Structure 1
């Protein structure tokens, strides 16, 4: 592989072209010499894609007929990229911004640590960059423990990646060989937990999942679903149930289902106070949907 391997950057767009425009403008300022940008429109049909096409005539666009969720939207672009000579896929949320040197630093980190399968920068809030917007997860038998959420961001200059069980899909650098070995994102998740699922599959195949402490991505958290009450919580609940049911044995799934049902209805009255009725109802509905769906089998 050359000093500057080729990178395909994939950005998924849905409705909000103002955020996508800022993301693409930042990407065009990268100081890395070998990359192309692919913009995937997830069935917006509101005129936003046409505006983006006019503003960025040189960027490749993949327009999908409808909203297929994160995994279903990203996968066609990944397949197309793997059919070319690209060495890496870099996935970036359209509500995230990176600095000009970010991709160069991520590639350098991966070349020094080729055993890494998924590498991500530290996510900080766009409107409060001294506060972290999550690093990733430690995965326990029946829980996902958030790491680095709402913590003060302490700049770290150490050149070593920090290993976690899973990282967020906000910004992921992934070598092509990972997809060739473990496959693409599982589209049954639609939205949320497809990133955690890919990390677990990557680790099972012998890859390492990590973040690099000296690179930042600025994230407007959950901007895509902020205007639709309960939607984010519905898919968070649904994705959680599918994830644990997919990655646990038959008897563990039985125990998990009982624990979740008890926990959901015991905590619901208290969560209304902090999250609002619409979000709690959304989470309950999504969780119940995930618990009664057929148990997914590994692909």
Structure 2
């Protein structure tokens, strides 16, 4: 364990019907932090069997949830446990993200250089499928950004006390956008640290050929498209249009192009998105205030 990441940092890894790959990901994280909280959103026999090798470890604590409580509630459960145990920084992850050596130290060094207005800090993302850093993830040093994805993001106790935790009714998707934009609204600055790299997959990363080029399908379920569409509208209503929106529009357009051209279940996904649009527009105004 490196000196910068010894006693003050805990990690949270969210598990949902995990494969055995989660164990190597947890091992990579645990080498850089003092404790890992594994939040199990699928407390069934199969998940218990996969996670069984973690039993008895002093540096890993398993937090079984009553069911699939969602990404926001799951992350919050792990974060609360870490803060209650006295940790001042929490590094959060999806189950399919693998950290690289020294990533946490690089995040902490970059944050230290910013000072008291440091917001959410996150790494650059490299594709698990291709081993190549995503096109918009390349840079030098640390760069100011509006939003970061949840997986790999580092939160300080002081930041969370100022802006609050993840918005649990969002459940999944745009949970990360919302908390990052709330940090910016309170005067904090979020950064992507380009020399801190994690390997990450979006969805299934299922390869197919399109016009002679290999592309990767996410294959998200209709339910995921419902929440994604609903929550995008909620975040727009809460935070307005900004740089984050135009960047997100590029990603969303690209994702829907793949859905319409090469994914199965197009009609059910379009119907789910339509329901999500209506739900986002009807979301109670009182719930938009934070």
Normalising to structure 2: TM-score of the pair?
0.79
Tell me which residue corresponds to 2:269. 279
Q: Following the alignment from structure 1 to structure 2, what is the Cα–Cα distance between the partners of residues 117 and 277?
A: 40
CA distance 1:228–1:209, shift in 2 (3 Å): closer
| Gaps in structure 1 of 5+ consecutive residues | 134-147, 250-267
Tell me which residue corresponds to 2:88. 87
User: Are positions 1:247 and 2:217 aligned together?
Assistant: no
Tell me which residue corresponds to 2:253. none
CA distance 1:18–1:227, shift in 2 (3 Å): farther
Deviation per CA, 1:30-83: give whole Å up to 9, x if none. 3x4x52100000134242134313345311011000111110111122122222
Report the aligned-residue RMSD: 2.8
Alignment of 1:21-170 (within 5 A): 21-28=23-30, 30=31, 32=32, 34-58=33-57, 59-114=60-115, 115-132=117-134, 148=136, 154=138, 156=139, 158-159=140-141, 161-170=142-151
User: Are positions 1:207 and 2:188 aligned together?
Assistant: yes
Deviation per CA, 1:164-195: give whole Å up to 9, x if none. 11111121011110111111000111001111
CA distance 1:11–1:223, shift in 2 (3 Å): farther
CA distance 1:208–1:46, shift in 2 (3 Å): same
CA distance 1:54–1:270, shift in 2 (3 Å): closer
- More strand per residue: 1 or 2? 1
CA distance 1:269–1:72, shift in 2 (3 Å): closer
Match of 2:289 among 266, 278, 298: 298
Q: Following the alignment from structure 1 to structure 2, what is the Cα–Cα distance between the partners of residues 285 and 68?
A: 21
Is this contact kept in 1: 2:12–2:93, CA < 8 A?
A: yes
| Gaps in structure 2 of 5+ consecutive residues | 206-216, 242-255
Normalising to structure 1: TM-score of the pair?
0.77
Is this contact kept in 2: 1:96–1:170, CA < 8 A?
A: yes
Q: Following the alignment from structure 1 to structure 2, what is the Cα–Cα distance between the partners of residues 76 and 240?
A: 24
Q: 1:204, CA displacement in angstroms? A: 1.3
Deviation per CA, 1:197-251: give whole Å up to 9, x if none. 10111011111111011111100112599676323222211111211222349xx
- Matched residue count: 257
Tell me which residue corresponds to 1:236. 228
